Structure 1
Amino acid sequence: MHTLSILGSTGSIGTQSLEVARRRGYRILALAAGRNLSLLQEQVREFRPELVSVDSSVYQEAKDLLPETRVVTDPGEVAAFPAEIVVGAIPGLAGLAPTRIALERGAAVALANKESMVVAGPLMWDLVGQSGGRISPVDSEHSALYQCLAGEQLSEVRELVITASGGPFRTGPEDLSEVTPEMALKHPTWAMGAKVTIDSSTLMNKGLEVLEAHYLYGLPLEQVGVVVHPQSIIHALVRFQDGNLKAHLGPPNMQLPIQYGIDGAPHGMRFAGDVHAAPRHPAPFTDFPLARTLEIFEPDRDRFPCLDLAYAAGRMGKVAPVVLNAADEIAVEAFLQKKIRYTDIARVIEQVLQECPDQKLGWDAIFEVDAWARTRTRELLWD
């Protein structure tokens, strides 16, 4: 039986990870939540973790609600707790520090926090080499790439291709300047948190995934491509040097890449179970219908410039991805608060990226440059 700790247990990936744990019968040792104490209380009641972390603003309330559970305010303590596998699902740069702690102690990290790999990919692989831990991708696209690459040689790969749904504005409106947060939050396929949903609509989410694939699999940025696939059934493709293509298809549900990230990667094993037995932990989605139309288009880079901004940051290297991620977080937050227009998101990210410091990547540099980029983004937003 796997033992798990979950960073971000009350978010979208965290709750689905617990659904996988429920189906598999995993033991949950620790949970890192934020302020959603009502949901955390339900999770504690069912899974009986030994340790939980909460936001400091609700610490005393959590202590009162969970008298039999050890409560702390640092998610790093959850990451350090001796679970076999840590699901890294705290969004944004906030997920980096606990992910680092988990890798330093040699844990297996099922990584859903793409920002950690985007801003610190080489440093995280250094930690894996030093500690003997592992990183398993949980993003649907990167899980799909991993499964397509199982048994293959990277030297034989010509291109990694990840798919984008195209978001709610793939076919319109032509003028995106009047897009509201309410419009942008209506994703046609996936149910995700607000930040990821806005990033999906601008294609920044896909840009971050390009950088993530670049760092996860060690291929040059030019060998990572993007296509738009509105049905979200094809999650990724691998094009080989001999001309063959291998594609991964599946229903648009995050539980499948989550369970593969926990159960199989990086060993290429799958949990099968006994299909003839009473389904205590039934395998979901096995009846997913195959008869359907699948479409693939090139992304509209003129309407969605955030995709090329991510490529630009990757080519710049060093701390440029840190700047990209920080500027995006601040710009999206301002848009959700209706302080800027939708089209201002890409405009301000481009400006901050042009001012990126020429600084070598390092753990201290990440947080220094991140703080600078957030401050500079706010300055530009209010000019």
Structure 2
Amino acid sequence: MKDSLADPRQRFAPTAMTDGRRDIVILGSTGSIGTQAVDVVLSNPDRFRVTGLSAAGGRVELLAGQAHRLQVESVAVAREDKVVELREALRAQYGPGTPIPWVLAGPDAATELAGSACHTVLNGITGSIGLAPTLAALRAGHVLALANKESLIVGGPLVRELAAPGQIVPVDSEHSALFQALLGGERREVRKLLVTASGGPFRGRSRAELETVTPREALAHPTWSMGPVITVNCATLVNKGLEVIEAHLLFDIPFDRIQVVVHPQSAIHSMVEFVDGSTLAQCGPPDMRLPIALGMGWPERVPNAGPVFDWGKAMSWDFYPLDERAFPSVPLACHVGGLGGTAPAVFNAANEECVDAFLSGRLPFNGIVDTVAAVVDEHGSPSGTELTLEDVLAAETWARARTRELAERPPGRSTTGTSSLGSTAEARA
């Protein structure tokens, strides 16, 4: 496992502690990952102390309440127009005459906070805007509990260059499961990584049956409660494609040895198959508090971090092969991951724009992956030059602009709402 970014056998030990507690910075504290991380900290005040919180700015009252409950030193908000409102909310929480936390504001606020003194940075930001904070946390020598998969996907070589062995602990439930299961053998003994997928709300439907899917249907995930972008990504299985790229980057396993398996109950979070035929699985009820707690506490486990199964009751778990014709996002993602360079950044940015277009009624459901495939093909193969942050940002900017153009007038859209762009994605299935 020496060549992998997330190596469960390596130990990385920063020294930022307060009274024996780990100092934690939580990025994206008002989102799904962030709010559950706050719950973990409040349930374990003897293990963790939060020094800073960051959020986009859409839920100022919640952010101020978190800051007060955790008694943080700094609060960062991406939207500068929310600073006055945030300070007023903080003063209301802390009361007259009581100092409020230091407030950072602007698009670089989370990055600044990620580089501040602490032991562990939990990056729970959604989207590729999490890349700069990821790099800042690594440069500062902090443990990075990584829930922001996009920063690794779009900036893989940049992250690989900075990360020390054992510095990254994955928080996505699938990658946390792989991380734990890999303790069962040496890297040379790994035959395959098996990444499980619930199948989303449309498991079992054909491509034709997905043509008229509505945003409301796509947002009704059968297992997890998440934000709209991630929920739609789970419906298209783009999220699973991103996770395959992430698994490749984290564990240095080739794409042809990473397989997606549909498992509707979401009880087994992923598995590792070894060369002797043994398969090790990590399982538990679908609750993100366990991988979050593991990310913040590793290499120690946090007692009672999440719920457990009642093994005294009967239950059954099912597994199905992935229908790559109905859901071509996974093979497309493998193709993109193989291209490397700025291709993953184009894939991710195009998808974010397509999800927005779908939710606003400008693009049909099947048009999401169809359009992403068209933008990826138009972008072409990356050059052989070394990747820079500027390259990533430029590629994203181009991809977003081009995707918006295609989403407004996708070529070949039929009266049933499908697009001829699907041939590109289907060809990879």
**Same-fold status (TM-score > 0.5):** yes
Verify the 8 A CA contact 1:251 1:288 in the aligned structure 2. Answer: no
Q: CA deviation at 1:63?
A: 2.0
Question: Which SS does the other structure have where 2:287 is aligned?
Answer: coil
C-alpha displacement at 1:338, in angstroms?
A: 1.5
The structure 1 residue matched to 2:40, chosen from 13, 20, 35, is 20
Match of residue 39 from structure 1: 62
The aligned counterpart of 2:27 is 7
Distance 1:17 1:271 in 2: 12
Question: 2-side partners of 1:250 and 1:242: how far apart?
Answer: 25
What displacement does 1:222 show?
1.0
Work out whether 1:65 is the aligned partner of 2:89: yes
User: What CA distance in whole angstroms lies between the structure 2 residues aligned with 1:300 and 1:94?
Assistant: 31
TM-score w.r.t. the length of structure 1 is: 0.93
Alignment-derived partner of residue 96 in structure 2: none
What's the CA shift for 1:362? 2.3
Cα displacement string for residues 188-223 of structure 1 (whole angstroms, at most 9, x for unaligned residues): 001111111000010100000000000000111111
One-letter amino acid matched to 2:43: R
One-letter code aligned to 1:248: Q
Residue among 169, 172, 187 paired with 1:154: 187
- 1:115 equivalent to 2:139? Answer no
Residue 337 of structure 2 aligns to which amino acid in structure 1? G
Structure 1 runs not aligned, ≥5 long: 273-281
CA deviations over 1:108-160 (Å, ceiling 9, x no partner): 1100000011111222121123xx77110000000000100015211110100
CA–CA distance in structure 1, aligned partners of residues 254 and 239 of structure 2 = 19
1:112–1:137 contact (8 Å) kept in structure 2: yes
Q: What is the CA–CA distance in structure 1 between the aligned matches of 2:244 and 2:166, rounded to whole Å?
A: 24
Structure 1 segment 342-361 matched on structure 2, within 5 A = 342-357=365-380, 358-359=382-383, 360=385, 361=387
Q: Which moved more, 1:114-123 or 1:213-222?
A: 114-123
Q: Is 1:247 aligned to 2:247, yes or no?
A: no
Distance, in Å, in 1 between the alignment partners of 2:76 and 2:360 is 27
TM-fit CA distance, 1:284? 3.5
Check the 8 A contact 1:148/1:238 in 2, yes or no: yes
**Among candidates 121, 125, 144, match of residue 90 of structure 1:** 125
Bigger mean CA deviation after superposition, 168-177 or 15-24 = 168-177
Q: Secondary structure at the match of 1:175?
A: helix
Structure 2 counterparts to residues 245-324 of structure 1, below 5 A: 245-264=279-298, 267=299, 269-272=300-303, 282-286=304-308, 288-289=310-311, 291-324=314-347
Aligned-partner Cα distance in 2 for 1:151–1:362? 36
Contact 1:88/1:113 (8 A) holds in 2: yes
Distance in 1 between residues matched to 2:195 and 2:305, nearest whole Å: 26
* 1:107–1:133 CA contact under 8 A, matched in 2: no
- Given that residues 103 and 133 in structure 1 are in contact (C-alpha distance below 8 angstroms), is that contact kept between their aligned partners in structure 2? no
* Cα drift, residue 179 of structure 1: 0.8
User: 1:259-279, CA deviations, whole angstroms, 9 ceiling, x for partnerless residues?
Assistant: 111112xx4x3234xxxxxxx
Deviation at 1:65, TM superposition (A): 2.2
Distance 1:231 1:245 in 2: 19
Cα separation, 1, equivalents of 2:321 and 2:331:
13
1:343 is paired with a residue whose SS is helix
Deviates more, 1:141-150 or 1:370-379: 370-379
**Structure 1 CA distance for aligned equivalents of residues 400 and 184 of structure 2:** 42
| 1:334-373 map, 5 Å | 334-357=357-380, 358-359=382-383, 360=385, 361-373=387-399
The residue number in structure 1 matching 2:52 is 30
Question: 1:100-111, aligned counterparts within 5 Å?
Answer: 100-111=135-146
TM-score (norm. length: structure 2) = 0.83
Aligned sequence identity (%): 42
Seen in structure 2, the aligned counterparts of structure 1 residues 214 and 287 have a Cα distance that, compared at 3 Å, is: closer
After the TM superposition, which of the residue ranges 136-145 and 76-85 deviates more from structure 2? 76-85
Q: Judging changes above 3 Å, is the alpha-carbon distance between structure 1 residues 191 and 366 closer, same or farther for their aligned structure 2 residues?
A: same
Shift of 1:33: 1.1
| 1:180 positional shift | 0.9
Deviations along 1:345-364, one digit per CA (max 9) or x if unpaired, are 01110100101252343222
1:287 Cα shift? 5.1
Asked if the contact 1:121–1:216 (Cα under 8 Å) also holds between the matched residues in 2, the reply is no
Distance 1:240 1:287 in 2: 26
- Map Cα deviations across residues 242-291 of structure 1 (whole Å, 9 max, x no partner): 11111111110000011111112xx4x3234xxxxxxxxx5441454463
In structure 1, which of residues 375, 378, 381 is the aligned counterpart of residue 404 of structure 2?
A: 378
Distance 2:274 2:176 in 1: 18
Q: Mean Cα displacement is larger for which, 155-164 or 116-125? A: 116-125
Q: Report SS of the residue matched to 1:232.
A: coil
Q: Which runs of 5+ in 2 are unaligned?
A: 1-20, 92-99, 410-429
Structure 1 range deviating more: 43-52 or 132-141: 132-141
